[in-house]
């Protein structure tokens, strides 16, 4: 689904989002424009380019109406570094917890992986070519010194090398065993520590250790040709795709295309302006300010300039309002879009239209048991009606209500399958009524079940 930004006009972005998210056109448009404006900025030449700052966005809307979903979908749509963080998880610098700068480090980590994957793909062929020559060297070791070879010898060797190459490429030699030198990194015992991720550490242990620990050359390893080819290719890739190169590409991509989605933004706004926890909340806001404004954040790959990272924040803002954010921060999010709460009609569409619609998901789950599941139009309308009414009677949890309702509706089947007697299930309006009426009518029951 990844697409080049060149083709992602605002209209295209909106139509891609339309495949998954019903309604909410204001939010979709704002996001699409902000994305395109960054691409447009990249096309600008001269000093003005530096002056054009991103249109940071606040998405405001009740729970379960698609805020996070919009962010998740653009992340998949565009080929840009993207992270989603929760504002409520941060604490002010000096307090125990994650500091806000970690979002930039996380974004950089994402970009590094992305850049490495891309570079590896680019270098794969070149590395494979070199690896083949290396394996051939092992398969046809020189018996004498190069200088002692006659022209005749040389020619003969070149011929057998060609023959061997053909065999190697055809896979005939895959299972043959060869012995070769282990490389430095494969000699490193620490890299094999189970369950230990080097990425979580802010410095590179294995690099550090390899500096301390002497490399013992001459340690040999036996393996099949096929495996050796893999190992040599990896080694060449490591040489071609250096940490520096990866970091350079990643840094550029973060600084020019990075997107940080800050969820639960309302949780750091002060609804009531006194004491206690609020001190730390506005502290988080103040810490956030320089990052959103544009500053240099140190990461293990070097300084990252955040001036052109796009920030999209979201929150229900039911207790606190965007105006409860500190004024400086409000100014950094000039674009406000509201997402509307979802209606019965929206639910009908959400149930059937998106590519990942719940009815489609359940169809697949049933299919796994060899059962075909169909919903009549009447049934879908009825489910939507119950969802809307449950949201009205109790709390409005948006489209999430559909998940609980569908589960209640289908629970018996989900439990009973597989059953030779069940091979076709048709959900009609009457079935929905029978199953849900009792639950909906009793407020106590629905509080627990739906
Ligand atoms: N407009 C919509 N169209 C289709 N599906 C939707 C829509 N809104 C929400 N959903 C579905 O409902 C679920 C919850 O949505 P989402 O995570 O986007 O909520 P949210 O707005 O971020 O809520 P919260 O404020 O609680 O974080 C997801 O499974 C999503 O696919
Ligand atoms: Mg959310």
Would you state the structure tokens that stand for residue 42, as one six-digit string?
A: 């990249």
Strand-pair partners of 60: 315, 338
- Name the residue with the closest Cα to ligand 1, atom 26: 63
Could you tell me if 68 and 24 are in contact, meaning their C-beta atoms sit under 8 angstroms apart? no
Q: Looking at the DSSP assignment, which residues form a beta bridge with residue 85?
A: 262
Domains of the chain with bracketed CATH: 5-110+248-338 (3.40.50.300), 140-247 (no CATH), 344-449 (1.10.8.60)
The predicted structure's pLDDT at residue 184: 58
| pLDDT at site 371 | 96
Ligand 1 atom nearest to 315, measured from its CA: 25
Largest Cα–Cα separation, the chain: 98
**From atom 25 of ligand 1, which residue's Cα is the shortest distance away?**
63
pLDDT along the chain (450 residues), means of 10: 72 95 95 91 87 89 92 85 89 70 94 94 92 90 75 86 90 86 58 44 56 63 89 91 93 93 88 55 86 92 93 90 88 92 96 95 96 96 93 90 93 92 94 86 66
d(CA 309, CA 255): 6
**Is residue 418 reached through a cis peptide bond, with omega within 30 degrees of 0 on the bond before it?**
yes
Ligand 1 nearest atom to the CA of residue 316, by list position: 25
Nearest residue CA, atom 7 of ligand 1? 66
CA 309 to chain centre: 17
58 CA distance to ligand 1 middle (Å): 16
Ligand 1, residues 23, 68, 316, 391: which to mutate, most atoms within 8 A of Cβ? 68
Nearest CA, atom 1, ligand 1: 22
Say how many C-beta atoms besides its own lie within 10 A of residue 323's C-beta: 9
What pLDDT sits at residue 1?
43
Q: What is the pLDDT of residues 399-426, one digit of tens each?
A: 999 999 999 999 999 999 999 999 999 9
> In 3D, which of 59, 3, 12, 48 has the Cα closest to residue 33?
12
Residues with CB under 6 A from ligand 1: 21-24, 61, 63-69, 316, 350, 354, 398-400
- Do the bridges between strand 302-305 and strand 296-299 make them parallel or antiparallel, or are there none, so unpaired? antiparallel
Q: How far apart are CA 191 and CA 207, in angstroms?
A: 10
Other C-beta atoms lying within 10 Å of the C-beta of residue 136: 15
Both ends of the chain: CA-CA distance in Å?
34
The phi and psi torsions of 354 (rounded to 5 degrees) equal -55, 155
CA of 391 to the centre of ligand 1 (A): 14
> ∠ CA 132-138-141 to the nearest 5 degrees?
125
Distances (CA, A) of 317 to 8, 264, 325, 380: 31, 9, 11, 31
Annotate 61-98 with b (16+ C-beta within 10 A) or e (fewer): bbbbbbbbbbbbbbbebbebbbbbbebbbbbbeeeeee
What pLDDT sits at residue 304?
Answer: 95
């Amino acid at each position: 689904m990844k697409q080049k930004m060149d083709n992602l006009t605002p209209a295209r972005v909106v139509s891609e989002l339309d495949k998954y998210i019903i309604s909410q056109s204001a939010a979709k448009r704002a996001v699409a424009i902000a994305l395109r404006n960054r691409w447009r900025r990249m096309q600008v030449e001269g000093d003005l380019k530096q002056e054009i700052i991103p249109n940071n966005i606040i998405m405001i809307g009740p729970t379960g109406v698609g805020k996070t979903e919009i962010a998740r979908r653009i992340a998949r749509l565009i080929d840009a570094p993207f992270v989603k963080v929760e504002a409520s998880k941060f604490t002010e610098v000096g307090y125990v917890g994650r500091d806000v700068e970690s979002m930039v480090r996380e974004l950089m980590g994402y970009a590094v992986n992305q850049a490495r994957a891309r570079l590896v793909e680019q270098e794969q062929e070149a590395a494979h070519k070199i690896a083949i020559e290396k394996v051939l060297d092992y398969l046809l070791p020189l018996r004498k010194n190069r200088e002692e070879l006659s022209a005749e010898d040389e020619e003969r060797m070149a011929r057998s090398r060609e023959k061997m190459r053909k065999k190697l490429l055809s896979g005939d030699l895959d299972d043959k065993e060869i012995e070769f030198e282990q490389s430095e990194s494969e000699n490193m015992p620490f890299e094999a520590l189970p369950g230990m991720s080097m990425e979580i550490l802010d410095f590179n242990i294995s690099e550090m250790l390899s500096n301390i620990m002497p490399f013992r050359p001459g340690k040999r390893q036996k393996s099949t040709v096929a495996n050796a080819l893999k190992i040599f290719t990896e080694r060449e890739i490591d040489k071609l795709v250096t940490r520096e190169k990866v970091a350079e590409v990643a840094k550029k991509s973060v600084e020019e295309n990075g997107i940080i989605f800050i969820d639960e933004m309302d949780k750091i706004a002060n609804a009531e302006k006194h004491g206690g926890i609020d001190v730390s909340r506005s502290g988080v806001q103040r810490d956030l300010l320089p990052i959103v404004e544009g500053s240099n954040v140190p990461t293990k790959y070097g300084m990252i300039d955040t001036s052109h990272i796009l920030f999209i924040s979201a929150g229900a803002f039911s207790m606190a309002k965007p105006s409860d954010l500190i004024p400086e921060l409000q100014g950094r999010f000039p674009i406000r879009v509201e997402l509307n709460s979802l209606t019965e009609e929206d639910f009908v569409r959400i149930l059937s239209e998106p590519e990942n619609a719940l009815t489609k998901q359940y169809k697949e789950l049933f299919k796994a048991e060899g059962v075909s599941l169909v919903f009549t139009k009447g049934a879908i309308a009825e489910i939507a009606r119950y969802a809307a009414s449950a949201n009205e009677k109790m709390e409005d949890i948006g489209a999430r209500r559909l998940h609980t309702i569908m589960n209640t509706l289908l629970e018996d089947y989900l439990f009973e399958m597989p059953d030779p007697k069940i091979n076709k299930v048709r959900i009609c309006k009457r079935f929905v009524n029978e199953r849900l009426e009792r639950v909906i009518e009793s407020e106590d029951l629905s509080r627990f079940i739906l």
